[in-house]
Each structure stands twice: as structure tokens, then as C-alpha cells.
Structure 1
């Protein structure tokens, strides 16, 4: 499958599907809770480390065009893409 034109949402959705349908059962235990998992949204290949940086570099080295998604093991949210606008109140 060609990942070149995937949106951020599509990358996240595919990576989460890999996580929910196989990876979770393998990685959500003791020492991994709180670590970062980086998932290749095209292949389902993944890596785990404290910050996710080493895993991302390894996966990118194998496949330079990989679409990666990072999340914290055992938590619902780890990374946010983009940014929220600042809200200012005027008095």
C-alpha cells in the first residue's frame, strides 16, 4: 500500500488499528508501561524505547518514507500533531 498521500489522521488510525489488534497484547506489561512505542502505519513494525527517538530513527533507517505514529504505552494520548490556538481574553 502506498503511504505517500496519507493524512495525519489516516496514519494515526492505521497505527492504532495495528496497536489494538495485536501489538497491545504483546507490549502492555510491567516495564513497558510509560515507554514510547513508534509504529510504522504501513507495515505494523514497531519499536519501543524511553522517548521514541531511537525507535523512530531505526524505523526510518529501514524505510526512509515510513509514516510513523508515536504513543505512550498504557496511556490514551502521548503526542499531539499540530497545535491549539492560543486563547486570549480581552478585558
Structure 2
């Protein structure tokens, strides 16, 4: 499946599947809690850093057409505004 034609929801779903099916067990510990993880929804490759920016740039450098999904490690949402949650995707 070519990632270029995925909806935002499909990118989120695929990235969350990668996270739940293996990445979570590798990253949810100690100093990683609260950091941002950026996941390539096509390959499952990921990067972790404080804001997610460095990881997104690294993954985009490897694959400029990557569909990326960002989330906060150990939390259900990445950012909240006035009670509403927002999860960023980087294209």
C-alpha cells in the first residue's frame, strides 16, 4: 500500500498498530516517559526526542515521502487545548 494516498486516520491507525504490537514494550520506561515518538506509518521505523522535531527530520531525511505520526510516550494524547486533544502528524 502506498502511503501517499492514506488518510490521516489511516496513518494514525497504522502507527498505533506498530506502537501497540512491539514498539511500546521497547520504549515505555524511565526517561522516555513524556518524550515524543515519531513513527513512520509505512515501515514502523521510529525516533524519540523531547519535541519530536529531530526525529521527524531524521525520518524524512531517510524517506522524504514518509507519512509520520507523533505521540507522547506513556500518555494517551500528545497535546491538549481547553479540554480537546490533538495528535500531530507530520507530512
TM-score category by the smaller chain? Answer: 0.7 to 0.9
Q: 1:68-89 CA deviation, whole Å, 9 max, x = no partner?
A: 000000000115269xxxxxxx
Q: 1:17-73 CA deviation, whole Å, 9 max, x = no partner?
A: 000000000000001000000000000000000000000000000000000000000
Misfit runs of 4+, over 3 Å:
none
- Structure 1 unaligned spans of 5+: 83-91
TM-score (norm 1): 0.86
TM-score (norm 2): 0.86
Root mean square deviation, CA, Å: 1.3
- Structure 2 unaligned spans of 5+: 80-85
Structure number with higher strand proportion? 2
